[in-house]
Amino acid sequence: MVSAVSNEARICRGCWDQMHMPVPIRGPLALPFRAVGITQSKMNPNICTICERSFRYVKKERHISASASILFADIRGFTQLSERVSPILLSEIISLFHDDCAKAIWAHDGIVNKQMGDGLMAIFNFPIKTERHAAAAISAAREIQRRCAAALQELAQRHGEQLAQGIGVGIGVHTGQVEIGEFSTLRSDFTAIGGTVNLTARLESQAGPGEILVSAEAAAAAPEFVTGATRMLTLKGIENPVPAHILS
Ligand SMILES: [Zn+2]
């Protein structure tokens, strides 16, 4: 397991925040837990595989309604890129993207809930409680852009400026109520669903390379982070245009 979190917790912060139960995930006390398969989660190394896979056990319910901030990110221009670079370079770019995103999300106590090829979804405020979760999500988004821009520049120096043309990360951030739970009997990882998640995905789909689109709700919860222009977006499945703050 990579160790990219700067603030390495000795006990699982998810189990502590949700149940006040100390589950050791680092140090000698973690060894007997590791022996029975309880280890650091791939969603965030400061949480454990109990909170990742045993949602019903942790929450004693099938699902819960929670206030959270959601972040979607993906590589804009990826389809065109995949037509002009080798599969090896393409996989290197995907790995860099996922690593840089994870580091930025973990640094702000979010979890990488889903990875989908050239994109991902992150949740802030579950299972690690984060009082200012909109600010955390926006800070993570900015760090993703910083890290990925540097990585792309470095790749362009090695492989030619053409590589970076039209390529960049697009990000959407939104805050609201979500349903968190396990929504499949075949796969046991928890996830978040609902209108808040859908709107975040739609925001992200409208973000250009290097852009972060922040919803009015997320911006209101973290006004000090949001400066700059707003754009009215017509989003699929949503009747009225939605205002979004543009950070770039
Ligand atoms: Zn845990």
Which is nearest to 101 in space by CA: 52, 145, 38? 145
Q: How far is ligand 1, taken at its centre, from the CA of residue 63, in Å?
A: 17
Are the beta carbons of 74 and 119 closer than 8 angstroms?
A: yes
pLDDT score of 93? 94
CB atoms within 10 A of CB 68: 24
pLDDT score of 4? 58
pLDDT in tens, 23-43: 999 999 999 999 999 999 999
Q: How far is ligand 1, taken at its centre, from the CA of residue 239, in Å?
A: 40
Q: Phi and psi dihedrals of 163, rounded to 5?
A: -55, -40
pLDDT score of 1? 42
Q: How far is ligand 1, taken at its centre, from the CA of residue 220, in Å?
A: 31
Q: How far is ligand 1, taken at its centre, from the CA of residue 20, in Å?
A: 10
> Chain-centre distance of CA 68, in angstroms?
12
Q: Alpha-carbon distance 193 to 136, whole Å? A: 20
DSSP string of 115-167?
EETTEEEEEESSSS--TTHHHHHHHHHHHHHHHHHHHHHHHHHHH-GGGGTT-
Q: How far is ligand 1, taken at its centre, from the CA of residue 50, in Å?
A: 5
> Chain-centre distance of CA 206, in angstroms?
17
pLDDT score of 163? 83
Instruction: Name the one residue in this structure whose structure tokens are 């949480």.
Output: 47
Strands 63-76 and 168-181: antiparallel
Over 50: is that where the pLDDT of 113 sits?
Answer: yes
Over 50: is that where the pLDDT of 2 sits?
Answer: no
Q: How far is ligand 1, taken at its centre, from the CA of residue 124, in Å?
A: 15
